[in-house]
Chain A
């Protein structure tokens, strides 16, 4: 039978909530890096400069085929051997940002590929340059297709933030571990962490689904 102690829950709740802030910060920051870098990867893979296309494709493939936790360790512990000292936060953000950028680049690519060829030709026939063609014509139409994947990876990156605990980023998992080893009680901290993740993930996912439909309507495309 469970030995669940409510007074212990109330005692550790403030620490867990503070750590939740860090978790959200890590997820949010990592996601922004991944969004921007993912677009850079996607566009680089479409460039006409063959060495760039090749190098980007191989990098993305490499990152996608190795575990995130290895990449986190690698950036944090191998960096110093080359004289690059990074704080756990910086190393963590680089690793998780790069990791998700490589996944998001595929999402963007699928989105860009979903834009009909006629749109490129219309842009070309109006003499629009490549920057304008991407920013005003192609990417706005790629986003509705890409949005579902982008949303999945937002929830994904959030659920992967506990991996940052391995290099000592004080997010939820790390805090729950510390509490556990301080009090020799693991049931309440881990259960609470699970509940907090659930309470954030579920509404976010449903909000994303509704937003997707709104975006499609707003830019004048039919909803799916």
Chain B
């Protein structure tokens, strides 16, 4: 109960400071807005790319071409839906915009331009996605192995892209996708930055918890608490609780804000999302308690809040997509909790469920448990001779 009162006091202090609340809630929303608007023009409907239909026209179908379609259906059904129709039908649908993309597959895959991808002028992104899907499937040796066994020709990819209508180029960086080949997760830049900025600001909020411990030591309220019947462990758990609770609250506000104001989808599994949020704030709370062992002065805390968080944000890919980094740095990302949180969020935003974030949950939970345990054990002993 006392732990609760300690935590409530901290939360009260946080929310009485309206400037801090403003920074922690409005700034991230503004950042999402700014980044979102900067990129919005690229997306016609300013919406997330949802699963879309691709018209498939099979000219002289045979085993090979049917096999290809099957493979595509199997591996890419998360974000495209194939619909077989004849050439004329497909053209009409694509021209009218009913269906964004059509793929024409001729029977003989060994011939050049045996696969032609055409898309509606407004469906550049969908065209690009379809292109990548077919590209990946064809490149996978499964199909090529069969198709070219006879000829021994394994080089040329037998497809050609032909833009049906005039198009603009899509800048690569705006099209954010997971780089691993079999992972068809695709999220919009809006979602990407909503996730990145949220985890970043929650990191910042967590570090305010660190500052508040230092401030209490400076103010003498920490010493005073220790003169009461309140034990040091209660004080530490109280700080941990208020830090995680404030982070969680902020997380809720950011998710709610971004979905209501910017119509950003955080996926279809709210329960799993909540689990991920819990795991992330659990990790942050632990890290704060752990850092308290080493960070004793306000200056140090400010450095951690300023520089430390920035480094974590950059390393973890919260601002710049991580796959643009050199390999070494990509491994470094694994030590940042925000990397795991964001990765999990992006998975969920891509429409996937619990199984897609088990590793993230586990890693975050372990970070939280380990750091909290070490911090708690060390701090519970108190600091001999330090009047604080």
- Asked if A pairs with B, the answer is no
